[in-house]
Structure 1
Amino acid sequence: MTRRPLSHRSAAARALAAAALAVVGLLPLAGAPAQAAPPVSATPARGDDDHDFPRHELSPQLSAKLDKAVREAMKQLNLPGLQVGVWLPGKGSYVRAFGVADKKTGERMTDDMKIRIGSVTKTFTATALLELVDGGRVHLDDPVAKYVKGVPNGRNITLRHLLEMRSGLFPYSEDADFVKALLSNPQRAFTPQELLAYGYKHSNTSAPGTKFQYSNSNYVLLGLVVEKMTGKSLRDVVEHRILRPSHLDGTLFPKGAEFPRPHAHGYTNQTLSGKVADSTHWNPSWAWAAGAMISDLHDLKHWAKDLATGTLLSPATQKQRLKVLPTGITGASYGLGIFDVNGWIGHNGSLPGYENLTLYLPEQKATVIALLNTDILYKGGEPSTVVGRAITSVVTPKHVYTLSPAK
């Protein structure tokens, strides 16, 4: 989920918490519909479970309501482009692309364009770790010091604490020197050890297990644990043990700044000057296990279900994953690399230029995916949250995706 350090007001200082919990109150949608690209709704076959995602369109009445809500949200947020997918078993599907993928050329957004998915990456890193739990290679209550040396208070911080965001480790992405280093050279490649060193300069913020605090440091450490226990790169583990079994052919963990086409350009004001920049080819190594991956609308549709239902995990481990705890943010609880927001299970993601929601509602077996090509805040809040509320207010009014500011 996406939280930026809101105590800092400059664009640079509030930058780069790469998908922690959104701490934004939601505002009523208003204004005339934004001009949109012609909708594209064809969905390619992805596997034998497509019967759970009906291909026929939602009713014209419901589709019209969604069109209006989405366009109003786009106008309110001044979004360049947006992809939306909604799948409601028994009612149909809604797949649309709106606006532009490239503001310079005017290229229209389409529903097959890839984006950088930010902290939805955490769901893959957590799954890789939990597969090791299933294999008996690690245990949730092992101290991280058993696997990685030099972690402040690492003998008392467990893998479970890291997964739950309750380690007390300072988030490296909130360190001022890190922010300056990244924004001075967005093409720079960082190592996991370099990232962690920025956080280790600071004292831990709380005792392990006592307080929820979103920290990318937690997931960089989990990535290192996966690598140590498999003897392989995290990229290879995710590719062979998650992406292939889940048939996510359009998803990848990049080595550097590569970005397969077709992709949407991303726009951010997380720059040293505060001016809007095209961040499409910024190197996401600074987010690594916490936020570096790339995907598309149709892959995330399938991943949302696999993630929420535990397709790749044992029932016992999935049960552990879904034990969510309070976050201090009204309506939101967090488990082992997964959230529950008013019944919606999944994660959100944000990094400079991109945001997304990957959501599954077990009660109705419904799926909502939203992909944005900007992360520019709206009145201090994440634009993906406003889009999520607009969509779910129409399709699941008893389960509205909404996040309120932390107390």
Structure 2
Amino acid sequence: MLRMLFAIILCTGPVFGLFNNPTVSAAQTTQAVHIEVNGEPQFWNNAPLILKGTTFVPLRDVVQSVKGDLKWDARTKTAVITVGGDKLVHQAGSKSIKVNQVSLASPVNSRTINGTLMIPVRTLANALKADIQVQRTPSSQMNVGITTDQVSVLNPEVASVDTYLREINYPGMALIARDGEVLLKQGYGLADEQTMNRPDQKTRIASLSKSFTAASILSLAEAGKLDVQDPISTYISGIPKGNQITLHMLLSQTSGLPSAFGRGEGNTLEQTVEEIRHKTLKFEPGSAYLYSNSGYVLLAYVVEQVSGMSYADYVQQTILEPLGMKDSGEASRKVHTNSGFVKQGKGWTPAPYYVSQSGSGTIYSTVDDLLKWDRALYTDQILNQETIETMYEPYSNKNYGYAWILKENGTKRTVFHNGSGGGFSTAFSRNLSDDITIILLGNHAGMDMTTLLSDIETRTAKALQL
């Protein structure tokens, strides 16, 4: 794992030898520079400098400090850098760095000064999936601290899976764990146009949210506050055939309610429930399977009616806080997550804000937090094991349980779910027999996550000789 800390302290006093390039003037630069890497002073051949408010660092010196490899093509004026498993390509004077197969935008061009290629420090930090802090001391010195990726994990046993994800240009975060031990935790592709996905990135999890809704209903059942065989009419009036549709049918996607509902931003849960009251059933309740987001919206409303709390607060207090899932919750514009991307022409563009509704797809999380959720489902911390087993039972010919889908291979059992919406494509697989967890939190729309998940399961099993 790559670990690096830069401390760049820009002090008073002139920098000499930087002004042979007529495009750079003394007024555009700062002063003498002290550099540290991992707390140790560095003696770079070329000092960082500031031009028009942007801090630049010498690319070759940085690469050498992090034990990377740099190859320079003088004809095209292109640098090719290999750091860890990433390949960075930058053409001198341009505004982007290509990281593997995606282009990371920079607000300003790189500069060549006295034959040295200088890169904007924030752009280079983003390309390295790094943190950056900039501070001014009381004496007007500027401290710039960069901490590169300290959270990625790649066990050699599953290196082939990482290679595969890179080959297919998978965008998002991925985690593989065995018995709760993380073997792979990586970020791939863009988080937004100027930032790379990091493995600790908060992101929307789309319909993986449904497992939290199901668990909330079941926790209320364990507390004796409801029964999954209760008709929805006990809690919400006006639902078509509400006296026949049970909570069990909503949980197992056998209610007959259609899936779609209005997703206008600002729509309240009550307004969405009112819309569902006017829906027409697709079949008699309990007679077939039909995936329905509307059904899980009703379940969220039941949580609110029975608990006296908002859905978000109930999930937070009942599940997320007890499990230490500090980077998870119900999404809003106030919470910064990575961007979802949608196809536009031959490229990808950031998607509009993902509007969903409580219960169906509103949760944001991280791969680390979802692993905590995975581990909790092997214990009695949130629900007892007898209750948890009811989540995995196949209640239709589609093998859908309560927000988990059962897949059996001989004597081995796996439960999984996938999700999509607003430029996000997600999947969560839990091999209950071998205790293998696979979490894929992608941020491109339209990905076939069921097939991808199956591919990753097969490659992981082969790599681990299961």
Fold match (TM-score > 0.5): yes
For residues 139 and 90 of structure 1, the distance between their equivalents in structure 2, rounded to whole angstroms, comes to: 32
Amino acid at match of 1:315: Q
* 1:164-313 equivalence runs, <5 A: 164-173=252-261, 178=262, 182=263, 188-254=265-331, 256-260=332-336, 263-269=337-343, 277-279=349-351, 281-282=353-354, 284=355, 286-307=356-377, 311-313=381-383
8 Å CA contact 1:42–1:95 kept in 2: the answer is no
Structure possessing the higher relative contact order (Cα contacts under 8 Å, 6 or more residues apart) = 1
Measured after TM superposition, the shift of residue 85 of structure 1 is 0.8
Tell whether 2:385 aligns with 1:315: yes
Gaps spanning 5+ residues in structure 2: where?
A: 1-98, 103-126, 130-147
Measured after TM superposition, the shift of residue 318 of structure 1 is 1.8
Sort the Cα spacing of 1:224 and 1:73 in 2 relative to 1 into closer, same or farther, 3 A.
Answer: same
The normalised TM-score by structure 2 is: 0.62
8 Å CA contact 1:258–1:281 kept in 2: the answer is no
8 Å CA contact 1:89–1:366 kept in 2: the answer is yes
1:383 pairs with 438, 443, 448, which one?
Answer: 448
Amino acid at match of 2:453: G
For residues 392 and 356 of structure 1, the distance between their equivalents in structure 2, rounded to whole angstroms, comes to: 15
1:304-333 CA deviation, whole Å, 9 max, x = no partner? 2324666411233223222123444xxxx2
8 Å CA contact 1:172–1:199 kept in 2: the answer is no
Greater per-residue helix proportion: 1
Sort the Cα spacing of 1:214 and 1:275 in 2 relative to 1 into closer, same or farther, 3 A.
Answer: farther
2:461 pairs with 387, 396, 402, which one?
Answer: 396
1:5-51 CA deviation, whole Å, 9 max, x = no partner? xxxxxxxxxxxxxxxxxxxxxxxxxxxx964876998559xxxxxxx
Greater per-residue strand proportion: 2
RMSD: 3.0
| Structure-2 residue corresponding to 1:64 | 159
Sort the Cα spacing of 1:357 and 1:311 in 2 relative to 1 into closer, same or farther, 3 A.
Answer: farther
Amino acid at match of 2:282: T
Measured after TM superposition, the shift of residue 84 of structure 1 is 1.1
| Structure-1 residue corresponding to 2:31 | none
For residues 113 and 280 of structure 1, the distance between their equivalents in structure 2, rounded to whole angstroms, comes to: 19
For residues 362 and 149 of structure 2, the distance between their equivalents in structure 1, rounded to whole angstroms, comes to: 28
8 Å CA contact 1:370–1:387 kept in 2: the answer is no
* 1:57-136 equivalence runs, <5 A: 57-58=154-155, 60=156, 62-74=157-169, 79=170, 81-89=171-179, 93-102=183-192, 104-105=193-194, 107-136=195-224
The normalised TM-score by structure 1 is: 0.71
1:203-222 CA deviation, whole Å, 9 max, x = no partner? 21111111110001111111
Sort the Cα spacing of 1:90 and 1:224 in 2 relative to 1 into closer, same or farther, 3 A.
Answer: closer
1:344-390 CA deviation, whole Å, 9 max, x = no partner? 22422211111222221111111111111111x2xxxx432343133
1:324 pairs with 394, 413, 429, which one?
Answer: 394
For residues 346 and 239 of structure 2, the distance between their equivalents in structure 1, rounded to whole angstroms, comes to: 34
8 Å CA contact 1:307–1:346 kept in 2: the answer is no
8 Å CA contact 2:423–2:443 kept in 1: the answer is yes
Amino acid at match of 2:247: L
2:232 pairs with 140, 144, 151, which one?
Answer: 144
Amino acid at match of 1:225: V
| Structure-2 residue corresponding to 1:25 | none
| Structure-2 residue corresponding to 1:335 | 401
Gaps spanning 5+ residues in structure 1: where?
A: 1-32, 45-54, 400-407
8 Å CA contact 2:250–2:299 kept in 1: the answer is yes
Q: Secondary structure at the match of 1:288?
A: coil
Q: Secondary structure at the match of 2:444?
A: coil
Larger CA Rg, structure 1 vs 2 = 2
1:132-178 CA deviation, whole Å, 9 max, x = no partner? 110111011111101111111000111101100000112233xxxx3
Measured after TM superposition, the shift of residue 393 of structure 1 is 1.8
Measured after TM superposition, the shift of residue 100 of structure 1 is 1.7
Amino acid at match of 1:297: V
Measured after TM superposition, the shift of residue 274 of structure 1 is 12
Measured after TM superposition, the shift of residue 251 of structure 1 is 0.3
| Structure-2 residue corresponding to 1:22 | none
Q: Secondary structure at the match of 1:396?
A: helix
Measured after TM superposition, the shift of residue 334 of structure 1 is 1.1
Sort the Cα spacing of 1:274 and 1:171 in 2 relative to 1 into closer, same or farther, 3 A.
Answer: farther
For residues 101 and 247 of structure 2, the distance between their equivalents in structure 1, rounded to whole angstroms, comes to: 47
Q: Secondary structure at the match of 1:340?
A: strand
Q: Secondary structure at the match of 2:158?
A: helix
For residues 318 and 88 of structure 1, the distance between their equivalents in structure 2, rounded to whole angstroms, comes to: 20
For residues 158 and 275 of structure 2, the distance between their equivalents in structure 1, rounded to whole angstroms, comes to: 47
| Structure-2 residue corresponding to 1:51 | none
Q: Name which of structure 1's ranges 351-360 and 244-253 shifts more when overlaid on structure 2.
A: 351-360
Q: Secondary structure at the match of 1:355?
A: strand
| Structure-2 residue corresponding to 1:403 | none
For residues 393 and 113 of structure 1, the distance between their equivalents in structure 2, rounded to whole angstroms, comes to: 26
Measured after TM superposition, the shift of residue 68 of structure 1 is 2.4
Sort the Cα spacing of 1:242 and 1:92 in 2 relative to 1 into closer, same or farther, 3 A.
Answer: closer
8 Å CA contact 1:70–1:387 kept in 2: the answer is no
Amino acid at match of 1:374: H
1:225-273 CA deviation, whole Å, 9 max, x = no partner? 111111111111111111011111110113x33223xx3211125x9x9
Identical amino acids, percent of aligned pairs: 25
Sort the Cα spacing of 1:221 and 1:297 in 2 relative to 1 into closer, same or farther, 3 A.
Answer: same
